[in-house]
């Protein structure tokens, strides 16, 4: 097949597989590799050490597929319903994680189907599909493939589709007919995303300090959330959509017809009290095949405690008392902070009782700080 015929056939099949955006580009060193070095040097990756550990692999797609010639960049829409308002005792989840399935599994399955189709057309073809787990600067290549521009919030934005879509790529050693790169930035003078960020995570336009981003703090961070950032988390339990929700280009973003992305009532929003009743086995049964699994039980309960602390509702004291006795120090520390934010005699008694028997220094420090805060407001 000619590159043009092969590309047209792949694009048609991709559309049948629910990819709403498709573009092709050559395999080449990404222009943003140097910016990645600067970003890492500034510490903006936080604890995401895996990026630096495989830094050299980002220099060229050949580190993912030997002999790669072309990339087919794909976007799958995930916008569905509008988020429900989180009441006291509830936490918000980012739109992409509302569904019954992990998007990695769903997108990867369709990538495999598309790769099989490519091999039907060209039996000798070598190919590999990736969805945000390989060392590939997807947004750089998506812009090169004409799918959009990288906005001030560092997300890929398409004029017709906004930014509520997953990016994936199909790499192949076959030549394709390449799309024109997207050369125009349509953010203009708008700073809505920068102004709305609750934790001031944007060091400057187009530069995200991930170590301050709510998505990082509630998903990637394996440690205690810095005290100065906890209030900014607000009612976000897992992920954050603020910089996308305020983006004008998302006002008319298309919705996904896929049932797997439709919001489960238990995730839009989440009952935080129930989370403190889950042991490891029940947490696994509930979240194993969903994006929330990535945070692990200790991370999700840490975030749940912070949300409850931000809401300052006395009804949250009983579940936080359970959290204060959890096996995980990370959970106990967050519960201690939250009880200090809520206050009251029951919270104070729980903190003092736990302090007497607590053997983890970090947790003891959080309890002591919480008691000091309560004393100051007497």
Strands 236-238 and 90-93: parallel
What values do phi and psi take at 186, rounded to 5?
-105, 20
Average pLDDT, whole number, for the chain? 96
Provide mean pLDDT across the span 292-304.
97
Provide mean pLDDT across the span 159-174.
98
**Stated pTM of the model:** 0.95
Please give the share of the chain, as a percent, with pLDDT higher than 70: 100
pLDDT at 169: 98
- Per-residue pLDDT at 377 exceeds 80: no
pLDDT of 88-113, one tens digit each?
Answer: 999 999 999 999 889 999 999 999 99
- All structural domains of the chain: 1-269 (no CATH), 276-378 (1.25.10.10)
pLDDT of 138-152, one tens digit each?
Answer: 999 999 999 999 999
pLDDT at 79: 97
Q: Other CB atoms closer than 10 Å to residue 96's CB: what's the count?
A: 20
Calpha distance 273→320 (Å, rounded): 8
pLDDT at 2: 97
Active site residue 132: yes
Calpha distance 31→366 (Å, rounded): 44
- DSSP-based three-state secondary structure for 149: strand
Provide mean pLDDT across the span 78-93.
96
Higher-scoring residue by pLDDT: 376, 283: 283
Catalytic site residue from 132, 223, 279, 280: 132
Which secondary-structure segment (H or E) carries 117? helix 103-121
pLDDT at 101: 87
- Per-residue pLDDT at 202 exceeds 80: yes
- Per-residue pLDDT at 368 exceeds 80: yes
Residue 129 β-bridge partners:
170
pLDDT at 5: 98
Residue 77 to residues 95, 141, 164, 257: CA-CA distances in angstroms?
A: 11, 18, 6, 9
What values do phi and psi take at 325, rounded to 5?
-110, 15
Residues 6+ apart with CB under 8 A from 323: 276, 301, 304, 305, 331, 332, 334, 335, 338
pLDDT at 375: 86
pLDDT at 205: 98
- Per-residue pLDDT at 353 exceeds 90: yes
- Per-residue pLDDT at 376 exceeds 90: no
- Per-residue pLDDT at 255 exceeds 90: yes
Residue 189 confidence class, pLDDT cut points 50, 70, 90: very high
- Per-residue pLDDT at 75 exceeds 90: yes
State the sign of the Cα–Cα–Cα–Cα dihedral 50, 51, 53, 59. Answer: positive
Note whether 139 and 35 are within 8 A (CB).
no
């Amino acid at each position: 097949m000619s590159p043009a015929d092969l590309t047209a056939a792949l694009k048609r099949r991709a559309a049948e597989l629910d990819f709403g955006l498709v573009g092709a580009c050559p395999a080449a060193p990404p222009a943003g590799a140097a910016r990645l070095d600067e970003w890492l040097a500034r510490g903006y990756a936080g604890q995401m050490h895996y990026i630096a550990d495989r830094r050299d692999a980002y220099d060229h797609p050949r580190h993912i597929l030997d002999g790669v010639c072309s990339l087919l960049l794909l976007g799958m829409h995930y916008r569905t319903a509008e988020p429900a308002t989180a009441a006291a005792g509830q936490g918000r989840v980012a739109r992409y994680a509302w569904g019954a399935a992990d998007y990695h599994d769903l997108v990867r399955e369709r990538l495999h189907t598309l790769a099989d189709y490519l091999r039907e057309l060209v039996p000798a073809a070598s190919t590999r599909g990736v969805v945000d787990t390989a060392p590939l600067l997807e947004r750089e290549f998506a812009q090169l493939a004409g799918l959009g521009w990288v906005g001030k919030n560092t997300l890929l934005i398409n004029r017709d589709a906004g930014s509520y879509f997953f990016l994936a790529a199909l790499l192949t050693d076959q030549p394709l007919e390449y799309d024109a790169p997207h050369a125009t930035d349509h953010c203009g003078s708008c700073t809505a995303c920068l102004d709305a960020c609750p934790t001031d995570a944007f060091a400057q336009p187009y530069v995200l300090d991930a170590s301050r981003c709510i998505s990082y703090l509630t998903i990637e961070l394996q440690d205690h959330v810095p005290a100065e950032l906890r209030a900014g988390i607000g009612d976000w339990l897992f992920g954050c959509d603020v910089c996308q929700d305020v983006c004008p280009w998302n006002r008319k973003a298309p919705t996904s017809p896929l049932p797997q992305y439709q919001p489960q009532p238990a995730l839009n929003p989440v009952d935080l009290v129930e989370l403190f009743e889950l042991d490891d086995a029940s947490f696994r049964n509930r979240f194993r095949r969903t994006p929330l699994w990535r945070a692990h039980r200790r991370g999700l309960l840490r975030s749940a405690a912070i949300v409850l602390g931000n809401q300052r509702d006395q009804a949250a004291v009983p579940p936080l008392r359970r959290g204060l006795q959890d096996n995980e120090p990370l959970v106990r520390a967050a519960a201690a902070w939250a009880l200090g934010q809520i206050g009251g005699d029951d919270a104070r008694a729980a903190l003092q009782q736990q302090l007497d028997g607590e053997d983890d220094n970090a947790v003891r420090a959080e309890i002591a700080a919480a008691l000091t805060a309560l004393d100051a407001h007497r």
